Structure 1
Amino acid sequence: MATKRAYASPLRQQAAARTREQILKCAAELFAGRGYGRVTVADIAAAAGVSPKTVFASVGSKSDILDRIVDQGVTASGHEEAVARLLALTDPRELLRKLAAATRHGNEGQFLVHEAIRKALPAHEQAEELWERATAEYRRALCDVAAHLDTLTARPSASGEETADLLWFWFGPSGWRSLVVENGWSWERAERFLSGTAIATLC
């Protein structure tokens, strides 16, 4: 007797995917706003308009949710395409202006993800590991840009490693957050300042 194969309804799968996205979106907003330690699965369920049971079945535990938020952020960053465009540039000033614009776009778009992880650091056992995972490709990308930038200047004002450190200091998540969140600057003002500082220092 032939066994029945389970039928996976495309509409049901799409609905499940939308539910997962809604749960992750609401969780990121809550983690970034209140802090990971102050948010419960029940809070996430209420914000997403589903039951706690649905949260567990769809995404998993609160720790699983943060893990998925990090994975989503890494996937959505689009750093490979951005770096390829930057490495094609031959004018160091243009490169730094474009780098400022690209990192602003990334940090502005990934703001909730970064905040969610930052505020999880005191309460989540693996938060530091998650932060490293969320930013490792970002840092490597800036190292690649730094190496390219040094080839465009006859006598670089900094060594390759120092240039990479400076780009991370200016254009990494902490640099943007310091100006925009801690000091209340607009993203546009921060971009102009960071771009101008980098050009004045390195060019």
Structure 2
Amino acid sequence: MSASPQEKRAYRSGLRAQQAEATRRAVLAAAAELYAARGYAATSIDAIAEAAGVSRSTVFTAAGGKPYLLKTVYDQALIGDDEPVPLAERPESRRLRTLTDGAEIVAGYAAILARIMAGVSVLYEVVRAAADTDADVAALWADIQRQRREGAHRIVTLLTAADALTPRLTPDQAADVITVYNDPALHHHLVVSRNWSLAAFTAWLTRTLQHELLT
């Protein structure tokens, strides 16, 4: 029995959606690679289109202009995939909120930080460099800094609830300290530039944060 007209339309619609998603992923992969290699200003839409094997207009249709592309590839690098699940709702973040021991909280946070930094540190430098000359990228940079600060306060809240935060620091001061160490520039310097292993970086970050934050 042949497919009904409705079934044929549904099949064609599903196929088009799959093709559109494949195109979008190709564009984003090309943008991420070129931004990391060339920087933001030196990466044109034409170059992204050529690398993705699509037309210039398809880049805009599939994934937007340069600022939106940068934000999207940064967000994907931060999370590690393109699933619509916020970092705070990821399994490792939910597990962190169940811990009651200060050392375990800090170790878990450091492990999450190290993984995130490994994904974003190169693009973080791309955003930093472009923020001085592009208003849209400057807005993205400001949003990244806000997210880092909010993340620091969430860890302070967990440590305070566990009665583990050092009395040497007020909660705001503790958030200041965390914001120093949750900067992806640390990973870029020690791992990318100085060739530390990710394991060595994670161990150092854990020890340092535990020393600075715990009683």
TM-score range, shorter chain: 0.7 to 0.9
**Matched residues in 2 for 1:119 and 1:192: separation?**
29
Partner of 2:213: 202
2:58 maps to 1:54: yes
| Identity value in percent | 30
Structure 1 portions without partners, runs of 5+: 1-6
Give the counterpart of 1:78 among 81, 84, 87.
Answer: 87
Partner of 1:91: 101
Partner of 1:3: none
Q: Is the 8 A contact 1:143 1:164 kept in 2?
A: yes
Partner of 2:73: 69
Partner of 1:167: 178
Any residues of structure 2 matched to 1:5-24 within 5 Å, and which?
Answer: 9-24=13-28
Q: Is the 8 A contact 1:100 1:195 kept in 2?
A: yes
RMSD value, Cα: 2.5
TM-score, structure 2 as length reference: 0.79
Deviations 1:140-164 (A, max 9, x none): 1221111221342275331111111
* Counterpart secondary structure, 1:9: helix
Task: Name which structure has the greater RCO, CA cutoff 8 Å, separation 6+.
Answer: 1
Give the counterpart of 1:139 among 122, 145, 149.
Answer: 149
Deviations 1:5-37 (A, max 9, x none): xx6621011101110111012101211221110
TM-score, structure 1 as length reference: 0.83
Structure 2 portions without partners, runs of 5+: 1-8
Partner of 1:127: 137
Q: Is the 8 A contact 2:97 2:158 kept in 1?
A: yes
Count the aligned residue pairs. Answer: 197
Partner of 1:110: 120
Structure 2 CA distance for partners of 1:177 and 1:156, relative to 1, 3 Å: farther
Give the residue type in structure 2 aligned to 1:186.
S
Structure 2 CA distance for partners of 1:97 and 1:64, relative to 1, 3 Å: closer
Structure 2 CA distance for partners of 1:59 and 1:154, relative to 1, 3 Å: closer
